[in-house]
Structure 1
């Protein structure tokens, strides 16, 4: 979806894309499975608010059934704090001392419309154990009842609350997919409201341009085995009638010269959001911001579903980045 009118397009032949021998056996096995799950159910369907709620409930139930998200958490202590309409999950893994002041402020993915609640908390618990640090996961409100700007406002409120207990240099902000967008939007809006920048940001395959203009939205269509189809209905629902190019919605259009923390961005060559990630990385560099881009061979939007050495390598790279910036910030 673009607003540039009718632009020239390259017509390519139908083709087969082989599983490359250049990745681990685990990654090859995952790629050999092909498409994971159906295309977005909203394609060609007009949905009212109740229709969206029903669709999201069905999708979240499928995620819970597939992943076992929720239930009893092993290996971490989880507390909830109500911030007035939404909650923050405070997760401290076993072995992390109570006086360890490092915190990762996490925003969950889910296309801006789903995967909050027990799904967000369960994923954050797994992430906290891999990171070896406390994680605060913001269970922000979502459309159809709470479109933009409520979602971004909730993210900023979560950061503001964390700053009541931590110095900004003790905080890293991050997220994946829609959560990567919201992490960047939280930094930008918090900055514009006078809040200090965190020590660093972690943006995993972030959706940075909701106009679907980036090249890999089209070149990787049908190649990314997880993220596929047109997301315009969900993005428009999230935007709530606002221009999709507002910088707090599509963060790639933001003025980054006014300040942004050191950032790591991760993606893969089959990721539908590869170009969204690359464009934001270039925007950060043009603004003079310290930024690392890590691209994995044949990796799609969801990595290799956490089942490969490449997934482990990415997790280790993120942990190292966070530890380095926590250490340098508080030294």
Structure 2
């Protein structure tokens, strides 16, 4: 299996390295990858030195200034990214000088404000992004379907076990059902307080990962809080021959149509729909398509941390590219988007990128957009909220300061409980509005 080269040369940080001091003085780097490899090695030597904190900080400052000069000698197209990478490395190294600070993530240095709860702060300080995990070799080739399946299978079992433990703790049960020709898992609370009403859940996972079983942290808490059944859709994952992201979207619509159409169990006004990340994007794609078709719509929708613009033109994709521990923009561009078959033409197509559509003159369900201010997809959510609202529709933007991508899944933290509570309030308001 051919693997993607290496995101931001992260594995060099994790592997032992030996180099001479002041490697930046040697110059003549052919690329930012080569320069950053030397920079990481140089930092490791400084951090492993015998000097005290002040001495090591001084050496670090001197060495990084030299590497910065070398960044500016690279080809113009690489300079800005090289300087970004170097800034991040400097922050990481400065943090590592004081490794006993338990409130900072040593592998992924990002600001954690004091107001963040101790529970969430602990999660953020100990989070290891997958591209920094030991043994990470990069994503497979875009068309290596078997390798992508293997990569997915490696995380299924542990994530499923964690989800099953959450089900037990919340006294929530599940049942597998085929609805509209699509496999689903129905999550049910101990006491159904909303008979005759249901939510459709669309899981995240960059369109290639996860199942209803690995995302019970997105369904069990809400089912428990609201006392409502949730139908979690097991849509077909990418990559797959002769398959497309819009086919995933259509499976979501198939489930809605089966639940609400002739012989269905629910009226459209008794159904809500929600999802996070890729799931949020699919919710936006599905409701947009249903709106264009002019048929029945869900009573309400919630898109959490949604992917709504495949062009990656949203501002936070770049301004927060080093602050979101769940999303790495370079990986999306260089590996995930090609695997999904996202071409420039598709990226500019509003069917794929709903933030690029015009929502005026047609119906849309009341839509809440929930984002965290630390995630790269924050701007995707804000822009989607804006275009739907400008179309004259009922919308709400629910932003949570300092929170990372899909933070609401960390059940047991005050931040996740607040986010889930807001979603419950939105659905309770609109599912009962006739």
TM-score range, shorter chain: 0.7 to 0.9
1:266 partner SS: strand
For residues 175 and 188 of structure 2, the distance between their equivalents in structure 1, rounded to whole angstroms, comes to 9
Q: 1:310 aligns with which of 415, 418, 426?
A: 415
Match of 1:51 in 2: 147
Match of 1:131 in 2: 226
For residues 424 and 352 of structure 2, the distance between their equivalents in structure 1, rounded to whole angstroms, comes to 27
Would the alpha carbon gap of residues 92 and 62 (structure 1) be closer, same or farther in structure 2, given more than 3 Å must change?
A: closer
**CA offsets, 1:154-193, max 9 Å, x none?**
1110010110221111111111111111111111222333
For residues 139 and 195 of structure 2, the distance between their equivalents in structure 1, rounded to whole angstroms, comes to 50
- Greater relative contact order (Cα < 8 A, sep 6+): 1
Q: 1:169 aligns with which of 269, 294, 301?
A: 269
For residues 137 and 356 of structure 2, the distance between their equivalents in structure 1, rounded to whole angstroms, comes to 27
Unaligned runs of 5+ in 2: 1-76, 92-109
Q: 2:385 aligns with which of 278, 281, 288?
A: 281
Match of 2:87 in 1: 14
Match of 1:249 in 2: 352
Match of 1:269 in 2: 373
Contact 1:142–1:238, Cα closer than 8 Å, also in 2:
no
Q: 2:246 aligns with which of 149, 166, 172?
A: 149
Normalised TM-score (structure 1) = 0.86
Shift of 1:135: 0.8
User: Is it true that 1:27 corresponds to 2:106 in the alignment?
Assistant: no
Match of 1:190 in 2: 290
* Worse-superposed segment, 248-257 or 314-323: 248-257
How many corresponding residue pairs? 321
For residues 76 and 59 of structure 1, the distance between their equivalents in structure 2, rounded to whole angstroms, comes to 23
Structure richer in helix, relative to its length: 2
Normalised TM-score (structure 2) = 0.67
1:80 partner SS: strand
Would the alpha carbon gap of residues 19 and 287 (structure 1) be closer, same or farther in structure 2, given more than 3 Å must change?
A: same
Would the alpha carbon gap of residues 310 and 69 (structure 1) be closer, same or farther in structure 2, given more than 3 Å must change?
A: closer
Would the alpha carbon gap of residues 25 and 148 (structure 1) be closer, same or farther in structure 2, given more than 3 Å must change?
A: closer
Match of 1:3 in 2: none
* Worse-superposed segment, 105-114 or 187-196: 187-196
Unaligned runs of 5+ in 1: 1-5
Would the alpha carbon gap of residues 44 and 108 (structure 1) be closer, same or farther in structure 2, given more than 3 Å must change?
A: closer
For residues 18 and 77 of structure 1, the distance between their equivalents in structure 2, rounded to whole angstroms, comes to 38
Query: Which has more radius of gyration?
Result: 2
Contact 1:102–1:133, Cα closer than 8 Å, also in 2:
yes
Match of 1:69 in 2: 163
The Cα RMSD (Å) is 2.8
Q: 1:114 aligns with which of 200, 205, 209?
A: 209
Q: 2:319 aligns with which of 185, 204, 219?
A: 219
